[in-house]
Amino acid sequence: MKITSQEEYGLRCLLQVAQLTVKNELASLEGIAKAEHMTTDYAAKLLSILRNANLIESVRGKSGGYKLSRLPSEIKLDEVIKVLSGELFEVNSCEQFPGNDDKCVHIDCCSIRSVWFSVSHILFALLKQVTLEDLLKKEDLLSKYLKKELILNL
């Protein structure tokens, strides 16, 4: 249960694209990488994940670049995080942790599983309340908003 590199840097790239999209410009790979102080190769890899998930679109060739597929207000963090690293705990795969067997010993009754399900559910309900548009705000503004709104709306 940790924020992964792919989530963190993938989201940063997406936010760079969002910033230019609202100005009606395309974001170039090189521009994104420079802004985020990362290599273009790594940025390219992350952007390809975002593109394959239809969060962004790319235009190839000279004067090409990336733009959001939808409005920033229509892209919610729960979707972004699922694209970048999947669910916290996959509902149909307690098989992720089968011990040394094919099948988990606890398949019939597992109190741990029910905690993961609840936590995962609430977590993604939280993330669903935050959009890329929110993330384009300044930190102090967003921070206040999150404190006021996040839990209340669960």
Partner DNA sequence: GCTAATCTTGACTTTTTAGTCAAGATTAGG
Partner DNA sequence: CCTAATCTTGACTAAAAAGTCAAGATTAGC
Q: Is 93 in the site for a second copy (CB under 8 A)?
A: no
**Binding residue (CB under 8 A) for a second copy from 23, 24, 37, 61:** 37
Contact 48, 85 (CB under 8 A): no
CA 142, 138, 2, 85 dihedral sign is positive
The one segment of 1-9, 103-111, 114-122, 128-136 that binds DNA by CB under 7 A: 1-9
The one segment of 8-16, 19-27, 49-57, 64-72 that binds a second copy by CB under 8 A: 8-16
How many Cα atoms occupy the beta-carbon half-sphere of 14 within 13 Å?
A: 31
| Partner in contact with 134, chosen from a second copy, DNA, none, beta carbon below 5 to 8 Å by kind | a second copy
Residue carrying structure tokens 């390219």: 44
**Binding residue (CB under 8 A) for a second copy from 22, 26, 35, 49:** 35
Q: Is 47 in the site for DNA (CB under 7 A)?
A: yes
* Of 16, 6, 2, the residue nearest 132 (C-alpha): 16
Minimum separation from the CB atom of position 31 to a second copy (A):
13
Q: Is 153 in the site for a second copy (CB under 8 A)?
A: no
Question: How many angstroms separate the CA atoms of 120 and 36, rounded?
Answer: 30
Q: Which of residues 54-83 bind a second copy (CB under 8 A)?
A: 77, 81
Q: Is 44 in the site for a second copy (CB under 8 A)?
A: no
Minimum separation from the CB atom of position 72 to a second copy (A):
12
Alpha helices, H only, the chain: 5-21, 29-36, 40-52, 77-85, 111-127, 132-135, 139-149
